[in-house]
Amino acid sequence: MATVTFEGASRVYPGSERPAVDSLDLHIGDGEFLVLVGPSGCGKSTCLRMLAGLEPVDRGRILIGDRDVSDVAPSDRDIAMVFQTYALYPHMTVAENMGFALKIAGRPKDEIRARVQDAAEILDLTDYLDRKPKALSGGQRQRVAMGRAIVRSPQVFCMDEPLSNLDAKLRVATRAQIASLQRRLAVTTVYVTHDQVEAMTMGDRVAVLKDGILQQVDKPRAMYDSPNNMFVAGFIGSPAMNLLTVPVTGDGKAHLGDFELPLPRGAKLSGDQAAVGMRPENFSLTGAGHGVPVIVELVEELGSDAFLHGSVQDDAGSKDLIVARVNPQAPPAKGELIHLAPAPEHVLWFDPATGERVAG
């Protein structure tokens, strides 16, 4: 197995002034499952393709273990790719698809057969080895694509949104299988997704990208509790964190509707406004006059959970929207005026001018 290291790695596409990936510094440990996540166009797939050798490195370098692979051909990097599309050969059986790379490499037939059989047992594909891809479900085809990668025994797995073609229920089941499989094989894995729920549930660590720039890399829980900036705070979590820009008075208090929050000691802002971050689960319903006044616009009843979406009412006529988790057994009614109090110990503070966290 091996580590993966990006050292100031950049990629600038021809005709573009802005790098798709800009000076990426990232170290991935031996056997680690790292998830690259971010919105469409943020550069996460480009990072993966640079690692695989499908895109050149214009500046910096990429190492696998101690070996600089920046100029090494893709076939010599000992990496296995799993793509969004299954890319299976329709005229070949499952066994032939899984063993094709080994056949091209000139490996003995007995070795190919043994490796394919081992991978099929791991992936519960033994009964499907003689079938063609058209006779398989989407989830089974994705497992075949995984098997094709496993039989090569690579140093690194590169997975580019492998679950995006599956329906929601199958996606949940398959991501659990992939995470379990990666722990069993202990192969260094770089997994790209735009789905932050996948990132939070699968990765040992999560790296968040925006406009080709690494925003933060951390364990999922640590990133959820302590985002570096407003972008990470708003991107990680479902439903997303509430981020409201509010005025701060001379006595160091932020006003959210008619509710006051004291600015933490030592927090420095570049202006007279602060961005207040509050997770939906960190609100409680209070009586009139004891919290943020909110008109309920919608209640999402999900069975075990309920989330209300409401508009903050204040003297300035602000219509900031807020999301809060409420008791699913007795949720407020649509159109009702309620009061919500955020838990002060869970409030995060950001400077809206820079986007950086200043306290909390």
Integer Cα distance of 359 and 351 in angstroms: 9
Instruction: Find out whether 152 and 80 touch, Cβ atoms under 8 Å.
Output: yes
Both tokens of 151, joined, read 């039989």
Both tokens of 254, joined, read 């932020």
Predicted local distance difference test score (pLDDT) of residue 351:
94
Question: Residue 357 — φ and ψ, nearest 5°?
Answer: -75, 135
Task: Please report the DSSP string for 239-291 in residue order.
Answer: SPPEEEEEEB-TTSEEEETTEEEEPPTT---SSSEEEEEE-GGGEEEE-TTSS
Predicted local distance difference test score (pLDDT) of residue 308:
94
Per-residue pLDDT of the chain (360 residues; tens, 9 = 90+): 699 999 999 999 999 989 999 999 999 999 999 999 999 999 999 999 999 999 999 999 999 999 999 999 998 999 999 888 888 999 999 999 999 989 988 999 999 999 999 999 888 899 999 999 999 988 888 889 889 988 988 999 999 998 887 888 888 888 888 888 898 889 999 999 998 889 999 999 999 999 999 999 999 999 999 999 999 999 999 899 999 998 888 788 888 766 788 888 888 888 889 999 999 999 998 876 678 889 999 999 988 899 999 998 876 556 789 999 999 998 999 999 999 989 888 999 999 999 999 976
User: How would you class 310 by CB atoms within 10 Å of its CB: exposed for 0-12, middle for 13-18, buried for 19 or more?
Assistant: buried
> Minimal CA–CA distance to 293: which of 329, 263, 324, 252?
324
Integer Cα distance of 113 and 188 in angstroms: 25
* Structural domains of the chain in order of their starting residue, each with its CATH number: 4-233 (3.40.50.300), 240-359 (2.40.50.140)
Integer Cα distance of 77 and 73 in angstroms: 7
Radius of gyration of the chain (CA): 24
DSSP 193: E
Predicted local distance difference test score (pLDDT) of residue 3:
96
Both tokens of 7, joined, read 């050292």
> Minimal CA–CA distance to 66: which of 183, 155, 149?
155
Amino acid in position 8: G
Residue 190 in 3-state DSSP? strand
